[in-house]
Amino acid sequence: MDRSKKKSPATTKKSTAPTKKYKPKVPKSSKKCSGASLRESERMKERGGKGGSQQPSVNERYTQWKSLVPVLYDWLANHNLVWPSLSCRWGPLLEQATYKNRQRLYLSEQTDGSVPNTLVIANCEIVKPRVAAAEHIAQFNEEARSPFVKKFKTIIHPGEVNRIRELPQNNKIVATHTDSPDVLIWDVEAQPNRQAVLGATESLPDLILTGHQENAEFALAMCQSEPFVLSGGKDKSVVLWSIHDHISTLATDSGAGSSGGKSPKAGGIDDKPSTESPKIQARGIFQGHQDTVEDVQFCPSSAQEFCSVGDDSCLILWDARTGYSPVVKVEKAHNADLHCVDWNPIDENFILTGSADNTVRLFDRRNLTSNGVGSPVHIFTNHNAAVLCVQWSPDKSSIFGSSAEDGVLNIWDHNKIGERSGPASKFAPGLLFRHSGHRDKVVDFHWNSHDPWTIVSVSDDGESTGGGGTLQIWRMIDLIYRPQEEVIEELEKFKSHILTCSPP
């Protein structure tokens, strides 16, 4: 099913193949609506476990999770959002101090039309490892804004912000997808700060990338080695651009963080009139999918190699040097629509995919052939709803995360497949950690490359609470992922104290 049916009635969410787009947007003011608990109960009954096992309600799961926060987390910040954010991305590191760092954070506000949709640039304070006290991280109010997250700038976006991606070669540049065929490029430092009030004019993108024939809403990626942008859309195409094709201040320098030359004017670039954004055309349009392209990703070391997934259940590998047709096309990569894909930045043989069939699959590209033959190395099965986002850790090649419509963000270690730390029926192979701090669908998350075990995640809470969203920044306690011998050695120091503690 095409994820583009975001504005369909809520009843369509009860299909057997959940989709990524969401029900009509609901203002936060209606969060306490009387039907919220009923919707929770109905949805959890519908998603009852396979084989008749009973799943806990949203509130039961959340209450249990909250009681374990001091034990499982090194740090956690919970930030209540008035409007859901469909995408979250870490930006550049701004300042380092003794106990915490300050860093940019990119978010969006998906409104109901009473105020404009916005792209939000926030400043985030990140407490360093082993600094926060357990009592401190447990004392958060889920209805409040976190003091660690402060809005820095607002850009009035022309349409909803479905996806945000940052340019590695210039940390002032981000790309966004909305409900249109175009990709919008923004210089977030040069853009003026706007007041998001009804009737306000839209901010002008610094650059518009054209080439799609129909809306391109989700599939968006930036290249690590060159200022290249990749997109996919409802026209079944994968489109490639180079920002260098526009000779302007957006052409990136070798030094990350510098936009070079003079700053763009507020609302335009160079000598362009302020009422019009410059446009560039695609370098290549790649055809091979039979349905909407839902996600794309570059090979980490190449600007010419990339992959894509779509509603045709296919995983396709491309190489721009060999033409515009697939190099490898894996038919039936999943048993339903594919929603997301990520390419391992450390071991480039491995590619992850997530699907509406509730699974994450790991593929080894060495086992894929040009006739489309290829089986996953492993199928990860712990979600009980559609998987919406997968992403490799930037720090360790075997670690990755997956988030889904079941409200859970799982952290996996594929090196631990085959290891058992408990009853065989209790733990999914390779599952390292379950983050259950969200009450509803976890629509996006992002590992922090400056602090690799710190993750930002966002949920759209429209179904469970009646509106709004939740942003969480969190880091699991390092005893969970450090080598076992190190953990045992450290815990030995506290053995005598633990033995003298009276039972609760």
Q: Which residue has the tokens 């101090």?
A: 97
By the 8 A CB rule, do 229 and 213 touch? no
Q: Which residue has the tokens 């479905």?
A: 162
By the 8 A CB rule, do 147 and 141 touch? no
Give pLDDT tens digits for 71-84: 999 999 999 999 99
Quick count: other Cβ atoms within 10 Å of Cβ 248?
18
C-alpha atoms less than 13 angstroms from C-alpha of 86 in its C-beta half-sphere: 23
The sign of the torsion formed by the CA atoms of 131, 134, 140, 142 equals: positive
pLDDT along the chain (504 residues), means of 10: 40 33 36 32 37 66 92 95 96 96 97 95 96 85 91 97 97 96 97 94 97 98 97 98 74 39 34 71 97 98 97 97 96 96 98 98 92 89 96 97 97 88 68 95 97 96 83 96 87 73 56
pLDDT at 56: 76
pLDDT at 420: 61
Q: What residues contact 448, with CB distance under 8 A and at least 6 apart?
A: 90, 103, 126, 454, 455, 456
Give pLDDT tens digits for 399-418: 999 999 999 999 999 999 97
pLDDT at 497: 66
Q: What residues contact 181, with CB distance under 8 A and at least 6 apart?
A: 210, 211, 212, 213, 214, 215, 216, 233, 235
Q: What residues contact 155, with CB distance under 8 A and at least 6 apart?
A: 118, 119, 120, 121, 186, 188, 191, 194, 203
